[in-house]
Amino acid sequence: LHVDRQVIGCSDHDGEEVYNLDGEEMWFADFIKREGVEPQPPFIDHITYQDGTYQTAEANQQTCKSNLDVVRTAMKDFKIED
């Protein structure tokens, strides 16, 4: 069995999207260079992600930041219990 993970995260100033297989990065979005990166070692059969994966990552970042704003608004008046 293999463990396949996708991680999407964001903050006001940064973002992350990465695909992992068995704990190894298979693809990640480089939002500075505006491209997807496939940092796979040369000794494996290379896995290529389809066209549009980076654009989907950018859209996911917009959704993440929108959700972050919604949560901040919802939690603004939430009283923390001691």
82 lies in some domain: no
CA distance 64 to 17: 11
Q: Positive or negative, the Cα torsion across 52, 58, 59, 63?
A: positive
Summarize pLDDT for 2-20 with one digit per residue, the tens.
899 999 999 999 999 999 9
pTM of the model: 0.82
- How many structural domains does the chain have? 1
CATH code at position 9: 3.10.320.10
pLDDT in tens, 32-82: 999 999 998 889 888 899 999 999 999 999 999 999 999 999 888 777 777
The per-residue pLDDT for 76 is 84
Range of the domain at 26: 4-75
pLDDT of residue 32: 95
